[in-house]
Structure 1
């Protein structure tokens, strides 16, 4: 890694404590950058819900302030209107949260005490925002499973591993040893904002082969090349062109299928095409590493109007934007063309931060409204030559905000 690359990477790491990174799979950013997931399941015991969260390396929710309590009811709980178990227990002397911290704020429905006589009690958050105590195992009326991820990733690659390439962008990769079809493997990668391995040079190809072989995978892995049915040409799963080709002689063979694998038993790690639904294999996911480039100043931008090719950011991006309300006007340079915007990335608190996209310079025709975490691009086309973005963050803490580009 050269000096410039090293400095860029160090600068990125310096930002991590302030901004954090994305939530783990199936979790979303809800409150102050914290990661939660919820789903409705009838009659959940405390132990059943505890086990569900624990298997996902998560814990039951922790509430440490009045703001936390109120925002839970306005976002998580209020969405379904059902109670959920809290990550609160009595250790015989004091109340303790699931993250190990002691109770400093409570919203108990009664004057509950903690002693050796109450260690078998558990607590749930009711529809009225009050916390109720019940005997362990004797209550089945909690119909909402809510889990909080123990911690957010401190890696540039979230749950993936980092490969420093020495190029403009480092690569995040994950080897999945379970066997599945090409299409199911690609779907699994997509859930973590990645694709089946996209390979643009022999060094990465060799690295993927060696990684698979080190894990004892000698029968091949899925990689991200698929035939485009419309053009009958092969492309990478992320839409990029094939600028590096390692197909075996005679491949791709039109009689064999429209997806591809790497032969890990071959020193050269060559590729062959296979059927997309009938060849279960392990697989490798890849995605570009997030790089904290082009840092933005605090506050709404002074620029009042954007046009084709311009980039648009939330205040302070990629650091937390804080509470802020900003409006952005996007005008197509050709007034006869429809305006287009691509939301490249957004990470917001679902409780209280939104980016809303409107059609035209005036009016209320909404084209989309976004919150939570979404790392992959979203393309929006207006019905006119103008688009308005309305950024409304009432929290804006421990998240990165948004990055968009006018097309």
Structure 2
């Protein structure tokens, strides 16, 4: 996708539709009030351009259970790990010690799934990509030395990473606590992994482009890392918002109806970007004509999503969609990935239903539960049956490969 050529209507429509699907609010929590139009595009661009993302996940809200890990978040993180494996990117995943069994099992499975695919020949096994798993123990209450240890270990997990993506990751509230949506404290089991995201952001010097060392936050309730970008909206519109609102900010905030959906959608968005980058001029013209004939113009797609704010540069929307896409156009890493994706089957970077069913089953076997109902069958997430999640997944897979 040459920067001077612009971009196809099909891709614009796909990205806006992905944003719209992700922003549904099935739980009626008021997530729509936290939505920043255009931020999803920037987040997808960060993933596309990153060589080694840091993925932060784990929300131990099931305080009476062992482990206390909910199953929303790890599956979305696994989708990004699978994408990295398929594209030959390295990835580091970090969580709390209490979530380690669940998160490590699902991301290892996703890494293996990602290496058993049609892109393997083009990727080559000499790419040097690697999966690194890190778990940090929470600090003991009132122990300053242990608190310093937890901060030090949290910062260390960011080593070598050029982006941070937090998916359903417990975020710090204004009083320093970590809260469930019911306002219960999780401080005794949550590590200060916000320090890892801060370490990634601190490494940004501009020399590697405007997408380098950015922090993406994905959440569905207001108490997740990154929601500090809309903290006033959380306090005003979310139940117990004054107590639970996270104050940790991010560069691009994806407010999703379910956080796993946000992870899947980022993979679909990255695929749409790669397919656009891989188009030659004739394919570009054909895609534009097909999009117009199908009614997929950018204007039509925009009808479902409010226009992006006119003045980006704020928390949660560091760059406008146009600025983010322009940066992807000059990314060598994105161009490399586009070459791998070109000619592949549609949806190659988005989890298949079979892959996600296996991930959810692995999470359940390791002890993860539905955060709302406590169900441990692996067929419920955020109070909804798997069939509801599968319908969203199929829609996202289709949108990741625009005409």
| TM-score (ref. length: structure 2) | 0.27
Higher fraction of strand: 1
In the superposition, the TM-score normalised over structure 1's length comes to 0.27
- Higher gyration radius (CA): 1
